[in-house]
């Protein structure tokens, strides 16, 4: 997988569509799976770019990590689009995130120095 459109829709994803998307992901990587967000690269009112690890448990009980980068777009309180890239394609995910800002007539997204740490401490992230 180098790039995969997981979901897209102008009205947002319905509950059933979200369930189907998750079931498709689980069928690709296994029934027992955990999603761990390892880093937040960019974020705005339009969405977020994250690095994540899907950690399925194999038949023998071992954790097998599969990393990736996801861009998730929101609008009117619902998820409008989700795309996923290999973990080596962060630049492509950030470029796509900038594109959705330009399409919405907004400046390209801000990059945050360490948003997860800042939010955990109760402070707003610092743009870099």
Q: How confident is the model at residue 99 (pLDDT cuts 50, 70, 90)?
A: very high
Instruction: Return mean pLDDT, the chain.
Output: 71
Task: Give me the domains of the chain, ranges plus CATH numbers.
Answer: 3-116 (3.10.450)
Half-sphere exposure of 37 (CA within 13 A, CB side): 12
| Residues 84-92, mean pLDDT to the nearest whole number | 90
pTM score, whole prediction: 0.64
Of the pLDDT bands very low, low, confident and very high (cuts 50, 70, 90), residue 95 is very high
**Cβ–Cβ under 8 Å, residues 6 and 25:** yes
Q: Averaged over 103-121, what is the pLDDT?
A: 65
Residue 92: pLDDT band (50, 70, 90) is very high
CB under 8 Å to 128, separation ≥6 — which residues?
Answer: 111, 112, 113
CA–CA dist 93, 49 (Å, integer): 7
Residue 93 has pLDDT above 90, yes or no: yes
- Pairs from 80-83 (Cβ < 8 Å, separation ≥ 24): 80/8, 80/9, 80/10, 80/12, 80/13, 81/5, 81/7, 81/8, 81/9, 81/47, 82/5, 82/6, 82/7, 82/8, 82/21, 83/3, 83/4, 83/5, 83/6
- pLDDT for 22-76, tens place per residue? 666 656 555 566 667 888 888 887 888 888 877 666 666 555 566 789 888 887 7
**107, 97 Cβ separation under 8 angstroms:** no
Give the SS3 label for residue 53: strand
């Amino acid at each position: 997988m180098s790039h995969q459109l997981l979901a897209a829709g102008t009205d947002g994803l319905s509950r059933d569509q979200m369930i189907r998307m998750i079931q498709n992901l689980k069928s690709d990587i296994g029934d027992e799976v955990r999603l761990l967000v390892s880093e937040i690269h960019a974020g705005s009112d339009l969405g977020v770019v994250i690095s994540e690890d899907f950690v399925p448990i194999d038949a023998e009980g071992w954790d097998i990590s599969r990393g990736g980068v996801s861009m998730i777009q929101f609008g009117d309180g619902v998820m409008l689009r989700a795309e996923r890239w290999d973990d080596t394609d962060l630049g492509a995910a950030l470029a796509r995130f900038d594109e959705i800002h330009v399409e919405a007539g907004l400046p390209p997204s801000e990059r945050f120095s360490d948003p997860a740490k800042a939010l955990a401490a109760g402070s707003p992230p610092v743009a870099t």
